[in-house]
Amino acid sequence: MTKFTFTFRVAVYLLLIKNDKILLQRRFNTGWEDGKYTLISGHLERNEAAKHAMVREAKEEAGIIIKSADLRVVHTMHRKSNKNLEYIDFFLSCDKWQGKPQIIEHDKCDDMQWFFLKNLPRNTLPHIRQTIESYSNKIPFSELGFK
């Protein structure tokens, strides 16, 4: 019997919502699911708390300042990606931030705009769509990609 340690990938996502609209950005030139809409997001780095990762990603991707204390976890997902990797995703939300969201990483994103929660673009990533629906229905946990 071969011994190995199973490892999850962990990512954080920001549900930035105002006036029943959510901020989405379109992936571009990343090599994975380009042309599809997602949330401000990123992977946790070694020894990094989830809320701190979200603060960092919000500034890096959208140029906005959020405080860790203002973030709350609104959904958690266990999923398999289309590359057969397993993820634990933490979806966080906050009601206040500083700055106007804008594309900072032009080499990875070619569109950022607000969409109505009930009218997402057809090309929204499936796990993002499922999360937004779960959030709207106050469902705190979901799974995706398992039979």
**Whole-prediction pTM value?**
0.94
Q: Name 138's Cβ contacts closer than 8 Å, sequence gap at least 6.
A: none
In whole angstroms, give the CA distance from residue 62 to residue 103: 5
Return the DSSP state at 70: G
Q: Which of 34, 30, 10, 14 is nearest to 22 (CA)?
A: 14
Q: What is the structure's pLDDT at 1?
A: 63
Domains of the chain (ranges; CATH) run 9-144 (3.90.79.10)
Q: pLDDT, tens digit, for every residue of 21-67?
A: 999 999 999 999 999 999 999 999 999 999 999 999 999 999 999 99
